[in-house]
Amino acid sequence: MMLLIKKFFPGLAENMAQDDEDPFPDSKEKGGSSLSEDIVWEDRGSNITVIAFTGLAIRYGGMPQFEFKKILSQEGDRYNHIFVRDVRRSVYFRSPQGGNNGLRYYQERIKEAISHLPPSFNVAIGISSGGQAPFLLCNRLPIHQILAFNPSFPTDLYASESLFRLALRPEMLFSDHMSYVESILVVLSVRAVVKRLRRLLGRENIPDEVQCFLGTRPQPPAATIFYSRRNPPDFRQAMRLRGIPGISLKPVNSARHICLKELRDSGKLGPLLHQEIHEAHAAWLNAGNRL
């Protein structure tokens, strides 16, 4: 569908692709190194590390980008960085080599990247399936905080027929055609990925994100989910996650599934990330935790 949008609505496609992404981070930056085509880390001497996960890359014609690169790079040495790319566009269930051991593969590669960095408070961030990834991976990783923007789970909801019908509601087509097209693209992409994963892995072998999160020991990381209040599929998804211990919900006044561009253009994204990270870090230290 993205190819059709590029052909018939090139301006819309270009605008949808304008976000906080970078296809090839420069590993020659201070302390930077690439473990593989899917993991890049940067040691900036900080006691806070941000682990940024990509999503399904529907805006970029299916080429996964390293997301959050630009906004984080503007902060100098405030954070160490680990950028993680879902090369197979499989919500991290498949490894870059094509194996079905993706979750374990990414957990081990991220652990390896962390081992190259100073001891730090580790924050996982992502949008869409990139926001879903930390909930799947945190039970075997030293993650202390999750910041997720419109994560695409519960999977059964995002892949459901009812959510697809909700995305097709025509009101938004006339009031906000970009959000309308984007929502349909996201829902269709998730449905296709889930169908493929169920065929490859078996439905019974796809873990539940909430159970992975709640099963983290000694306790799950603090998690904040930002959801687009005016996007019907994302609003409904967020309401399914109300009341889960450790998860806080915060609305964003947006109709876009990929709401980062609006936050960035309004100057709110950087301050929002920094406030959330530093408040969580302070709370973690005040609770008696030490690195």
Is 28 a residue whose pLDDT tops 50? no
59 has pLDDT over 60: no
Share of the chain above pLDDT 90, in %: 47
pLDDT at position 76 is 56
Domains parsed from the chain with CATH numbers: 2-284 (3.40.50.1820)
The structure tokens 């296709």 sit at 192
Residues 167, 281: Cα–Cα separation, whole Å = 37
Looking at residue 149, its amino acid is: F
CA 5 to chain centre: 24
Per-residue pLDDT at 155: 74
| 231 has a pLDDT exceeding 90 | no
Residue type at 206? I
Indicate the pTM of the whole model.
0.84
Model pLDDT, residue 4? 46
pLDDT of 263-276, one tens digit each?
988 889 889 999 99
